[in-house]
Amino acid sequence: MQRYLALLRVPGALVAFVSATVARLPISMATLGAVLLVQEARGSYALAGAVTACFALGSAVGTPFWGRLLDRHGQARVLAPPALISAVLLVALALGAVGGMPAAGLAGLAAGAGVSFPPVSPAMRAAWQGLLPAEDDRQAAYALEAVAIEMVFLLGPLVLSLLLATTPAEVPLIVTAVLLAGGTLAYVSTSASRAVRPHRPVGEDVPAGPRLSLFRSRAVVTVLASGAFLAAGFGGLDVAVAATAQGLFGHRELLGVLYLGVAGGSALGGLVYGARTWPGSDWQRLRFVPSGVALGMLLAAGYAAWLTPTDSPAVAAVVAAVVLLSTAGVFIAPSTIIQQNLADAHAGKGRGGEVQSLLSAAITAGAAGGTAVAGVLVDAGGAALSYGGAAVAFFGAGAVTLARGRRV
């Protein structure tokens, strides 16, 4: 823990890290808030999953574009305008959902908000590279970044749960928009963000081939595929946890408690992983670490199938769910850290923002598919079926690396 505190004492690091974390809270709040809002307003998890999938697919399209611009034009010029646009569209989505807007309109607003969603995580990763010249320090900072993402997935649902219990249905998504705009503007005003210089390739640094030339790297494609599978599992997990809280326990306010298990376990796993050097290569670890999440999902599926829906769950039942989810969560942050490190290692000079944005796009696309499928699975067979689907996706994240890892 002292190592992480020392990183945050570096001049400019703490303010940038905190503001970037606030700006990233909408990563969890936008998708989950849309699921819950549309489900409540329209009474269908399938429709809620489809609308949320449009947001994620839009983000998958927009993120690589913003990431490429990030490397070439600087952070403030690239992050601030789309953040404001995305925030406005999220507000429109919230008001449209409760105002009776047709499903096609909701899908269009969600897609637009996703396309304009700013790539804050690749930007913060670039800021760490400028703040920390030593490679070991940067690796610890990347672990801290992964833990920050898990805190986003912990605090976001907790804030949503509080807002859902105390405010009208549209308010959580509006608050999400405010956090997105305010956090992003605060981050781009920090010294760490302003210190990141654009990389305009000249001479031998000019990337060969068209914009999609990174896809010519078998290693990059393998990492992107693994990230997509991992995120599909996240999408299934999100919907399954929502269905557990509301469908099995009868209290959607318990959503934040269940997410506490997932994100808390992941944060712990990330801190432990980043605090030491592990044997073997990143490729070897990526082949097996996601399977730990998958096994936890299978246990959660069995538990959900065993539960009887009730409006008054016993404390022991909630505790058991949290323990199962936290056990699975321990392996999440290490999986994402490994993927990000491998993406950077195979991107080439001056393309860190682009490759991290491509990874984010793969993750959001995978989450879109996972969320959409999970909505159908929950309507068809409840939370247990969605947990099972998530397990298949998490196993896939390791399997694609096993299948191709020796040839990268």
Domain harbouring 244, CATH code: 1.20.1250.20
Give the chain's length.
Answer: 408
On the CB side of 367, how many CA atoms lie within 13 Å of its CA?
Answer: 28
DSSP 203: G
Query: What is the per-residue pLDDT for 154?
Result: 67
Other CB atoms within 10 Å distance of the CB of residue 77? 13
Instruction: Supply the pTM of this predicted model.
Output: 0.74
Query: What is the per-residue pLDDT for 212?
Result: 46
Is position 1 within any domain? no
Domain count, the chain: 1
- Residue 72's nearest CA partner among 202, 197, 188, 208 is 197
Residues of the chain with pLDDT under 50: 202-212, 405
| Residue 165 vs residues 36, 169, 252, 374: alpha-carbon distances, Å | 12, 9, 9, 25
- Residue 303's nearest CA partner among 319, 289, 288 is 319
Query: What is the per-residue pLDDT for 209?
Result: 43
- The parent domain of residue 41 ranges over 10-196+215-407
- Residue 67's nearest CA partner among 17, 138, 117, 15 is 117
Query: What is the per-residue pLDDT for 203?
Result: 42
Residues with Cβ within 8 Å of residue 62, at least 6 apart in sequence: 82, 114, 115, 116, 117
Query: What is the per-residue pLDDT for 200?
Result: 58
CA distance 97 to 69: 33
Is position 83 within any domain? yes
Query: What is the per-residue pLDDT for 243?
Result: 84
Is position 100 within any domain? yes
Is position 400 within any domain? yes
Query: What is the per-residue pLDDT for 188?
Result: 94
H-helix or E-strand spanning residue 405 = none
Longest dimension (CA), the chain: 67
Query: What is the per-residue pLDDT for 213?
Result: 63
- Residue 314's nearest CA partner among 236, 250, 405, 358 is 250
Residues with Cβ within 8 Å of residue 199, at least 6 apart in sequence: 71, 72, 205, 349, 350
Is position 5 within any domain? no
Is position 205 within any domain? no
Is position 210 within any domain? no
Is position 23 within any domain? yes
CA distance 373 to 198: 39
